[in-house]
Amino acid sequence: MAAGKKAKNIGKSVKGKAKEVTGKAVGNESLETKGRAEQAASDAKQAAQKAKDALKH
């Protein structure tokens, strides 16, 4: 996986986790859900990139 894309995906995952935790802390279910969605999207992109890299080698 390209270093830039990996860092970007990790950043999105961390941002999503922060939103989820903040949402839980303040009782905002919408923010919590958005955080989980960002994490899931980041994980999916990472998995797709890893599969793409595996096919290259």
pLDDT of residue 5: 82
Cα separation, 54 vs 22, whole angstroms: 36
Cα separation, 5 vs 17, whole angstroms: 18
Q: Where are the domains of the chain?
A: 9-56
pLDDT of residue 4: 82
User: Which residues in the chain land under pLDDT 50?
Assistant: none
Query: pLDDT tens digit string along 43-57?
Result: 999 999 888 888 886
Count of positions (residues) in the chain: 57
pLDDT of residue 1: 54
Cα separation, 16 vs 29, whole angstroms: 13
pLDDT of residue 6: 84
pLDDT of residue 26: 97
pLDDT of residue 39: 96
Residue 28 phi/psi, 5-degree rounding, is -100, 100
Structure letter (DSSP) for residue 27: T
